[in-house]
Each structure stands twice: as structure tokens, then as C-alpha cells.
Amino acid sequence: MNSLIKYVFLRQFSLVLIIFLNVINGFSQNELNGKTFIEMKTTLGDISIVLYEKTPLHKSNFIKLIEDDFYDSVKFHRVINGFMAQAGDPNSKQSDFSGQLGQKSFGETISAEIISEYFHKKGALAAARMGDNINPEKRSSGSQFYIVQGKKYTENQLNQIEQKINQQQESNLIGQFLKKTENNHYMEKIKYCQQQRLTDSLNTLYQEIKSLVVNQEANKFKFSPNAVQTYKAVGGTPFLDNGYTVFGEVTEGIDVLDKICSVSTETGDVPTEPVVILSVKIKD
């Protein structure tokens, strides 16, 4: 009797184990590791990319576009050697399109997911977006992206870029403050000082506004030690940090990126000979 019970138990356990293994095998190893890898085939070669986990909105949007075959036949419409290669305008699929590429995106804009540990090193995948003047929230394009090529920087150059980023951030915060209806009286004071050419009073007013909206320590941008070393050794576009969402990076095919960025271009940085994305697939 005990032998029969043991046999039945082992048989049931084996069936459960088989089912469990089949379920596990239904997922790729990459999915089990919590990472999503994609393969982008272009007319100049293949590029492998990993999508970051801490930018879920951008990751899910990119995957949805891939699953819908959106990027198949899309061209790199803006290429600048030593800077980046940009694609994702749906109009670029049209061989007879005569307008300016880069003006259109597919889908809704995406909330910014700017994370300090994801920076614009060479090979970074980032979302394009409209400028701060009409897009102060830094929302990303629904489909346009760019891959960073960039160049190497010295520590002194990085220090200067840090200062510029902080100055721009300060200006943006003050601009947002002055646009609020409840702060109209500050705008009136500024206009009066400008009309009367009261430079000292204008500077004093600026410092007052600055003290209200800018927390020097909390809002100050600074490159991490890892970013500094990477920009010095590998390169990138550090001046774009804190302004655009980086949501992935190239794992294989940097040489293909270099090929794309080195093609001859026409007015508007459009490749003379089209560089086409043949397909983008999620790797198994």
C-alpha cells in the first residue's frame, strides 16, 4: 500500500514538474533576467539594444511600436557625425515625401523619465522631444528616438557643461514661476525696471525670485563619477543630460552606429543615400 502511494505521489510530482518546466521554457532567458533586448536591422548592419527597466513608460511604448512593426521601413532622417542618429518620423516611410522630416511623431507624448544613472554615453538610446519653450515638462515624442555617438570630453569641459545645464535649469524654473497667474505682479515689476532701465533693481528682483524657486542644493545638477569617467574614456553627448529621457543602450553594433553617423548628408542633416531600418524585433 505504501509503495502504491509513493508511486502515485512521484508520478503526480513529475507531471507538475514537467508542466512547470514547460511554462518556464515559454519565456526567454532575457525575460527571466528581467531585461528586454531588441535587434534593429538596418541597411548598414544590425544593432542590438537593451531597454532599461527604470523607464517603464518608454520601454512599454517602444515595445508596443515594435510589436506593431511601426519601425519597419522607417529611415534615419537626421544624422550628425560626432553627435547622433535620429529616426522615428512616420513620414520617412514614404519614398515620395517632399516635406521636412522630423516634424511628425506617431502616438501620444510620454511623460519624462529622466534618471541620473542613465546618461548620454556613446550608444545610449534616448527619446527625442519638442523644445523647452513649448514643452517645459520635457515630455518625449511618441515614436522619435536617437542613438548617441558623441565624442570624448575632458573633465574641464564637463565642468563647464555642468554649469550650463544648471543655468538652463535655473532659467526654466524662473520662467515657469513667472508664467503662473499668481505671480503676475513680479512680471509687472520686471517690465517697469526694464522700461526705466533700473539695472540694480532688476538684479535685486531677479535674486528675490531665484531664492523663491531655486533650491541650490536640491536642484543642482552634477555628473556622477561613473558618467565623468565614461565621457572621458568612451564619449557621448553630456550636454543633453537632464534634458532628455535615456531609456536603453546599444550592446552590440557600435561599429554600425559609427557607419550610420559617418554617411554623407544634405541640407537638414538628411543622409544623401537613405539609411533604412529594415526591422526591429524583440530578441528571444
CB-side exposure of 227: number of CA atoms within 13 Å? 22
List the one residue out of 37, 14, 15, 17 whose CA is nearest residue 25: 17
The three grid cell numbers given for residue 284, joined into one nine-digit string: 528571444
CA–CA distance, 194 with 154 (Å, rounded to integer): 40
Cα–Cα distances in angstroms (integers) from residue 41 to residues 65, 126, 276, in the given order: 15, 18, 9
What are the phi and psi torsion angles at 277 (to 5°)? -85, 115
The answer to whether the CB of 126 falls within 8 A of the CB of 113 is no
The answer to whether the CB of 253 falls within 8 A of the CB of 175 is no
Strand order in the sheet with 84-87: 76-80, 84-87, 140-148, 124-129, 246-252, 45-51, 36-42, 277-282
The answer to whether the CB of 224 falls within 8 A of the CB of 39 is no
CA–CA distance, 122 with 234 (Å, rounded to integer): 7
pLDDT confidence of residue 175: 84
Domains of the chain in start order, with CATH, are: 35-152+245-282 (2.40.100.10), 157-213 (no CATH)
The pTM of the whole model exceeds 0.75: yes
The three grid cell numbers given for residue 201, joined into one nine-digit string: 533693481
Per-residue pLDDT of the chain (284 residues; tens, 9 = 90+): 444 444 444 444 444 443 333 433 333 344 445 689 999 999 999 999 999 999 999 999 999 999 999 999 999 999 999 999 999 999 999 988 888 999 999 999 999 999 999 999 999 999 999 998 899 899 999 999 999 999 999 999 999 999 999 988 888 888 888 888 888 988 898 998 899 888 888 889 888 888 887 765 556 889 999 999 999 999 999 999 999 999 999 999 999 999 999 999 999 999 999 999 999 999 97
CA–CA distance, 233 with 162 (Å, rounded to integer): 18
pLDDT confidence of residue 277: 98
